[in-house]
C-alpha cells in the first residue's frame, strides 16, 4: 500500500527567485523576513526538518534531527499566483502568464457583464479585499450593486453582503463572469467574496468560493485517478483544479480545520493521495501584511507538524510539504511574491537531513508521485525518489519516534 500526503503551506516562500525583479519582488523572503521581524518565533520542528539550512546555507547550523529530506524549488511557470503554483506541482508548466488587470477590467467587458447580471457594479479596480468593502460596502448595501475588484494576481473578485445578495445569487453572478472571461481575458480565478456586518465592522465570511479555469491538460491527479487510486483534495484544492482529477473533495474554512480533516482522512486512506491547501498564511496574514499573525500561524503549524509526521507509518508512506509562492508581509506590497518555496519530505526510514538541493521546477513533485506509484509520466519535472532512497536507513537504523521526541519534537 502506497500513500502520499501533499501539504501546501500557502505563500510560505523562502527567498526571491533570480527573476524576482521582473515582478517587483526584489528582496522578498517571506520566511526569513518574518523570523527577522519576530525573533522570538518558536518553530523547533521546522528547524529540525532543515528550515535553517534552506534559509541560511552559508552558516554553520545545527544538524537536522527529524527523519526526512529538505530542499527548495524554483517556479518555472510565468507568474506567482495560486493556480499557477498548484498546477506546476501537478505537472503543468504555464509558459504564458495568466492575464492581470492592474487598471481594472475594460469598460466594454464591464458593460457586457452588467447586462448579463442585470445590475450595475462598483469598484472595478485593483484593491485590498478588506479595504474595498470598507470603502464601498455602504454604497453596495444601499444600491445592491456588487463590488468588483482585482489584485496583482490573475483574479476577478466579486464582493457582496450576504443579506443584500444571497450566496446562491453571488455564486450565479460569479459563474457568469467565469463564462465570459475567456481567451485573452481568461483570468485564473473568479472569486466570490461574501461578507457580513455593518459599516465600520464588515467581516468577510468563510463562504468564499473560487471558480477556476480548468487545467489545460491532464495532471498527476488525473493519472492517479485513472490508475484507480484515491485522490482527495482538502481546502481549496477542488477549486484550484476545477474538480479535475479528484475522487473526493473536503472543504475547510481555516488552517485548524484543515489540520483536523487531514488527519481524519489520512487515517482512513489505504492507497492514494491527499492534497491539502492551508490558506490562512496567505489570506489572513500575507495579504494583510500582518507579520505577527503570520508568525503565530507558523507556530501553530509547527505544533501540528509532529502529528502529521507520526502518521507516516511505513516505507511506502510519504509526507511532502511545500508552498505555491511567497507573500512577504514585511514589504509594502500586499500581493504574492516571486520566491523559491521550501520542500520537505518525510518518511520514517529517511535519514534526517537528506539534501534534495534546489529543484528546477515545482513539477518535480508530480514526477516523484508518479515514480512512487509507478504511473507512466510524460509531464515536466524530475523525480527525487532515488535521492530519497539514497537517504534511507537500513533496518538497524529505523527511525525511533520516542527518541526523536526526547530530542525536541513538540506535540501539537
Considering the domain architecture, whether residues 365 and 255 belong to the same structural domain is answered as: yes
Answer yes or no: is 291 within a domain: yes
Is residue 353 within 8 A of residue 345, CB to CB? The reply is no
- What is the pTM for the complete model shown? 0.88
- Checking if the pLDDT of 221 tops 70, the result is yes
Answer yes or no: is 102 within a domain: no
Considering the domain architecture, whether residues 201 and 226 belong to the same structural domain is answered as: no
Answer yes or no: is 17 within a domain: yes
Considering the domain architecture, whether residues 384 and 252 belong to the same structural domain is answered as: yes
- Checking if the pLDDT of 314 tops 90, the result is no
- What does R_g of the chain's alpha carbons equal in angstroms? 21
- Checking if the pLDDT of 393 tops 70, the result is no
Compare 325 and 404 and report the one with higher pLDDT. 325
Residue-wise pLDDT for 71-98, tens only, equals: 999 999 999 999 999 999 999 999 988 8
- Checking if the pLDDT of 159 tops 60, the result is yes
Distance CA 164, CA 263 (A): 38
Q: What is the pLDDT of residue 128?
A: 87
State the pLDDT confidence band at 135, using cuts at 50, 70 and 90: very high
Percent of the chain with pLDDT over 90: 85
- Checking if the pLDDT of 401 tops 80, the result is no
Looking at 179, 212, 245, the residue that finishes a domain is 212
CATH classification of the domain holding 200:
3.30.70.1250
Answer yes or no: is 318 within a domain: yes
Nine-digit cell string for 186: 481568461
State the pLDDT confidence band at 203, using cuts at 50, 70 and 90: very high
Q: What is the mean pLDDT of residues 39-59?
A: 96
Distance CA 285, CA 87 (A): 23
Considering the domain architecture, whether residues 319 and 281 belong to the same structural domain is answered as: yes
Looking at 150, 177, 212, the residue that finishes a domain is 212
- In this structure, how many other beta carbons lie within 10 angstroms of the beta carbon of residue 398? 11
User: What is the extent of the structural domain holding 89?
Assistant: 3-96+215-407
- Checking if the pLDDT of 138 tops 70, the result is yes
Considering the domain architecture, whether residues 300 and 285 belong to the same structural domain is answered as: yes
Q: What is the side-by-side order of every strand in the sheet holding 3-9?
A: 248-250, 230-234, 272-278, 3-9, 317-322, 341-346, 68-73, 354-359
Nine-digit cell string for 85: 503554483
Split into its structural domains, the chain has a count of 2
Considering the domain architecture, whether residues 334 and 205 belong to the same structural domain is answered as: no
CATH classification of the domain holding 76:
3.40.720.10
Considering the domain architecture, whether residues 87 and 148 belong to the same structural domain is answered as: no
Looking at 193, 212, 231, the residue that finishes a domain is 212
175 Cβ contact partners less than 8 Å away, ≥ 6 residues apart: 190, 211
Compare 193 and 406 and report the one with higher pLDDT. 193
Considering the domain architecture, whether residues 208 and 223 belong to the same structural domain is answered as: no
Considering the domain architecture, whether residues 126 and 83 belong to the same structural domain is answered as: no
Considering the domain architecture, whether residues 300 and 386 belong to the same structural domain is answered as: yes
Q: What is the pLDDT of residue 97?
A: 85
Which of 20-34, 201-215, 381-395 is predicted with the least confidence, judged by mean pLDDT?
381-395
Answer yes or no: is 101 within a domain: no
State the pLDDT confidence band at 141, using cuts at 50, 70 and 90: very high
- Checking if the pLDDT of 404 tops 60, the result is no
Answer yes or no: is 247 within a domain: yes
Q: What is the pLDDT of residue 378?
A: 82
- Checking if the pLDDT of 332 tops 90, the result is yes
Answer yes or no: is 43 within a domain: yes
Considering the domain architecture, whether residues 244 and 307 belong to the same structural domain is answered as: yes
Considering the domain architecture, whether residues 68 and 178 belong to the same structural domain is answered as: no
What value does the mean pLDDT of the chain take?
92
Answer yes or no: is 117 within a domain: yes
Helix 167-180 and helix 107-117: axis angle, to 10°? 140
DSSP characters over 127-194:
--HHHHHHHHHHHHHHH-PPEEEE-SSSEEEEEEETTTS-HHHHHHHHHHHHHH--GGG--SEEEEEE
Amino acid at each position: 500500500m502506497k500513500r502520499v500526503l501533499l501539504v501546501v503551506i500557502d505563500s510560505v516562500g523562502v527567498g526571491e527567485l533570480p527573476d524576482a525583479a521582473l515582478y517587483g519582488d526584489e528582496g522578498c523572503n517571506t520566511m526569513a523576513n518574518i523570523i527577522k521581524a519576530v525573533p522570538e518565533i518558536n518553530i523547533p520542528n521546522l528547524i529540525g526538518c532543515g528550515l535553517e539550512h534552506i534559509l541560511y546555507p552559508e552558516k554553520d547550523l545545527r544538524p537536522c534531527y527529524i527523519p526526512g529530506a529538505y530542499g527548495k524549488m524554483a517556479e518555472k511557470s510565468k507568474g506567482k499566483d495560486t493556480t499557477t503554483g498548484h498546477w506546476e506541482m501537478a505537472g503543468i508548466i504555464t509558459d504564458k502568464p495568466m492575464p492581470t488587470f492592474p487598471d481594472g477590467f475594460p469598460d466594454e467587458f464591464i458593460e457586457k457583464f452588467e447586462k448579463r447580471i442585470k445590475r450595475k457594479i462598483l469598484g472595478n479596480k485593483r484593491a485590498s479585499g478588506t479595504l474595498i468593502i470598507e470603502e464601498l460596502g455602504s454604497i453596495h448595501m444601499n444600491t445592491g450593486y456588487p463590488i468588483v475588484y482585482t489584485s496583482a494576481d490573475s483574479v476577478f473578485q466579486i464582493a457582496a453582503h450576504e443579506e443584500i445578495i444571497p450566496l446562491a445569487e453571488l455564486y450565479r453572478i460569479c459563474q457568469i463572469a467565469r463564462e465570459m472571461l475567456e481567451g485573452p481575458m481568461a483570468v485564473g480565478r473568479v472569486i466570490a467574496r461574501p461578507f457580513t456586518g455593518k459599516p465600520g465592522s464588515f467581516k468577510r465570511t468563510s463562504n468564499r468560493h473560487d471558480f477556476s479555469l480548468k487545467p489545460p491538460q491532464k495532471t498527476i491527479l488525473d493519472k492517479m485517478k485513472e490508475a484507480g487510486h484515491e485522490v482527495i483534495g482538502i481546502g481549496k484544492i477542488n477549486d484550484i483544479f476545477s474538480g479535475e482529477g479528484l475522487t473526493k473533495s473536503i472543504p475547510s474554512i481555516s488552517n485548524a480545520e484543515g489540520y483536523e480533516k487531514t488527519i481524519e482522512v489520512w487515517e482512513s486512506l489505504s492507497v492514494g493521495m491527499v492534497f491539502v491547501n492551508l490558506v490562512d498564511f496567505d489570506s489572513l496574514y500575507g495579504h494583510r501584511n500582518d507579520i505577527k499573525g503570520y508568525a503565530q500561524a507558523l507556530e501553530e503549524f509547527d505544533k501540528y507538524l509532529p502529528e502529521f509526521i507520526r502518521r507516516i507509518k511505513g516505507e511506502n508512506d510519504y509526507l511532502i510539504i511545500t508552498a505555491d509562492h511567497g507573500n512577504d508581509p514585511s514589504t509594502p506590497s500586499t500581493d504574492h511574491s516571486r520566491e523559491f518555496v521550501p520542500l520537505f519530505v518525510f518518511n520514517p526510514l529517511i535519514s534526517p537531513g537528506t539534501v534534495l538541493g534546489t529543484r528546477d521546477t515545482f513539477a518535480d513533485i508530480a514526477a516523484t508521485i508518479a515514480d512512487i506509484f509507478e504511473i507512466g509520466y510524460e509531464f515536466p519535472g524530475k523525480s527525487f525518489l532515488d535521492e530519497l532512497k539514497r537517504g534511507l536507513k537500513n533496518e538497524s537504523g529505523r527511525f525511533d519516534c520516542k527518541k526523536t521526541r526526547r530530542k525536541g519534537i513538540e506535540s501539537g
